Amino acid sequence: MRIVDYKVEYDKSNPLSIEAYSQKMIGKTFREICAEDDARQTQVLRDGSSDYGSSDVSGIKRNKGNLGQIVEEKFFHYACNSDSRADFHEAGVELKVTPYKINRDGSLSAKERLVLTMIDYYQVVNEKFEESHLWSKSKLILLVYYLYRKEIPYNLDYKIGYSRLFTPPAQDVKIIQHDYYIIVSKIQAGKAHELSEGDTLYLGAAPKAATSKDRRKQPFSEELAKPRAFTFKSSYMTYVLNNYIAPGKITYEPIIQEDVVDSFEDYVIDKINRFQGYSVENLCEEFEVDIQKKPKSLEAILAYRILGIKGNHAEEFEKASIVVKSIRIGKNNKIKESMSFPAFRFKELVEEEWEESKFGNYLRETRFLFVVYKFDKNDVLRLRGCQFWNIPYEDLETDVKAVWHKTKQVLQEGLQVTEINGVRRNNFPKASENPVCHVRPHAQNAQDTFELPDGRQYPKQCFWLNNTYIYQQINDDIKVDQNCRL
C-alpha cells in the first residue's frame, strides 16, 4: 500500500489540541470523513487489510468497530493498532467512538454502555486501581458521540454530533474505584463466573464475547467464566452526554453536593437510617410533604427528601441505574405486594434468547435501593431502614431463567385461557410454581392489551418478584424490631 505524506493538523502531545481538531468532525457523517480523506489521496497503513468502509457500502451488516477505525485513520491519520497504551499516548488521551439516540420526548440518551478494556482475570487481581490498565484507558477520554438512527441502513451515514474531552469528576472517580474493587474482589473469591453489572454503580463488568458460549479460565476457580470487559454503564454514559458533552440538556440534583465520600452506598444508607423509627406522618411533617394529597409512591418520595432531593430523580441514581423501591412489611412480618416490572410485549419476547432478553438484562444491570417501612403493633407505618440490592447470580440464572423460558414456551405453543365464574385464568407461570418470580397482569383494564403471537389481543402482563422472595432478601437488621423514636 502506497503511503502519502500529510501534514498533521494537531499536536498529538496536547489534549486540548486534539480536542480542538476533533471539532471539525461535528456535523459530518463517517462517509463524508472518508470521502474528504480520499480526496486528499491520503492512505494509512492498516496491517495489510482492505478498505474498511466497503463492507457497509455493499450492504453487508454493520460493523460498529469500523467507525472507530475511520476516525483514527481517516481523520486523525494514525494507524489502528492493539497497543495497550492510550490511543494518543503522548497526550494520555483515549479515543472512544460511541452512539447516542434522540428519544421520542426529544431527550438524549446513550445507546449502549462504553467498553473501556477487556478484563484479564489473571492480571487484574494484582493491580491497584491507580496503576491499572483500566484507569490508564479511562482517566482522560476523547468522547466522539454519533447519532444512531434506526432508519439509516449503513453506519457510514451516521452523523457525528459531539466530540469532547472527558475526565470523571472526583466523586465519580471514588465510586468507579469502589466499583473496581468490588469486581476484583469477586474474581479473587473465585466467582468471576458470577459477575453481574448489578453488583456495581458506574463501572460494569459486561459480557464481551463473539458468542454466548465463549468462556475463559479464571485464577481462583476451576469453573470457566464469560469473557468480560470493564465498561461505563449506559446510564452513566447518558448522564455524561447530557451534563458534560451536551450541556443544557437534562440535569438532576446530586445527593452528595460538597464533600467527596469514600463509599456512596454507605453515605446513602447512613443518611436514611438517621430517621429509622419515624412514622410516615412524622416524615411528612419533617420534610413538608402534604400527606392529605396522598401522592403516588409516597414512601419513595420521602426517601428522596431525606437524601436532600426535591424531585424524584437523583444524579447518582441516574448515573448508576439505581431504582428506588419502597417496601411495606405488615405487623405479621409478611409483605403483601409482590414487586412488578414493566409489561413485556408478547411478540417481542418469543423472538428473544435468554442471554439478551429485556427482563434478564434489566435484572443483570439494575441495582435497587430498598427503602423498607413496617407497620407497628398499633398499625402505624414506620421507616425501618434501607439497603442496596441486586439479584443474586444463582437466583437469576436458575429460577428467573426458568420462569422466563416457561413464559416463552407458553406463548410459542399458544396461550391457554379459561374462564371460571367470570374469572379469566391462563397458563403463565404462577407464584406457587417458583420461589422467586411469576407472571401476572399489569394492565389498567381488560382493554389495555398487547397482541399475542397468534394474533389475539390479551391484557398486558409482566414479571413479578414474589413477595415472599423479597422478604427473604431484606437484611435481618432491618426486619428485627427496634425501639421507635417517635
In the CATH scheme, what is the code of domain 264-479?
3.40.600.10
pLDDT in tens, 158-176: 999 999 999 999 999 999 9
- Mean pLDDT estimate for the chain: 89
pLDDT of residue 357: 95
pLDDT in tens, 443-455: 777 788 999 999 9
How far is residue 140 CA from its own chain's centroid? 21
Q: Nine-digit cell at 48?
A: 495489510
pLDDT of residue 250: 62
Does 1 score more than 80 pLDDT?
A: no
Higher pLDDT, 323 or 1: 323
Q: Which residues pair with 225 in a beta bridge?
A: 216
Does 43 score more than 50 pLDDT?
A: no
- Amino acid identity of 45? L
DSSP 346: H
pLDDT of residue 370: 97
pLDDT of residue 390: 96
Q: Nine-digit cell at 243?
A: 451534563
Does 57 score more than 60 pLDDT?
A: no
pLDDT of residue 482: 54
- Give the number of other CB atoms < 10 A from CB of residue 345: 14
Higher pLDDT, 50 or 310: 310
| Domain 15-245 in this protein, CATH class | alpha beta
| Sheet with 94-102: strands ordered across | 108-110, 94-102, 141-147, 159-166
Beta strand 108-110 with 228-232: parallel, antiparallel or unpaired? unpaired
How far is residue 79 CA from its own chain's centroid? 32
Binned at pLDDT 50, 70 and 90, residue 50 comes out as very low
pLDDT of residue 82: 64
pLDDT in tens, 328-344: 999 999 999 999 999 99
What's the rounded mean pLDDT across residues 108-112? 94
pLDDT in tens, 311-322: 889 999 999 999
User: How many percent of the chain have pLDDT more than 70?
Assistant: 90
Rounded Cα–Cα distance for residues 33 and 293 (Å):
57
Does 473 score more than 80 pLDDT?
A: yes
Give the three-state DSSP class for 167.
coil
Q: Nine-digit cell at 181?
A: 474493587
Alpha helices in 71-115 (DSSP H): none
pLDDT in tens, 287-306: 999 888 777 789 999 999 99
pLDDT in tens, 175-234: 999 999 999 999 999 999 999 999 999 999 999 987 878 999 999 999 999 999 999 999
What's the rounded mean pLDDT across residues 147-160? 94
- Give the number of other CB atoms < 10 A from CB of residue 470: 22
pLDDT of residue 81: 63
What's the rounded mean pLDDT across residues 43-60? 41
* Element containing residue 269 per DSSP (H, E): helix 264-273
pLDDT in tens, 376-408: 999 999 999 999 999 999 999 999 999 999 999
Does 486 score more than 70 pLDDT?
A: no
Listed by start position, the domains of the chain span 15-245, 264-479
Rounded Cα–Cα distance for residues 337 and 329 (Å):
9
Domains 15-245 and 264-479 fall in the same CATH topology: yes
DSSP 7: -
pLDDT of residue 45: 38
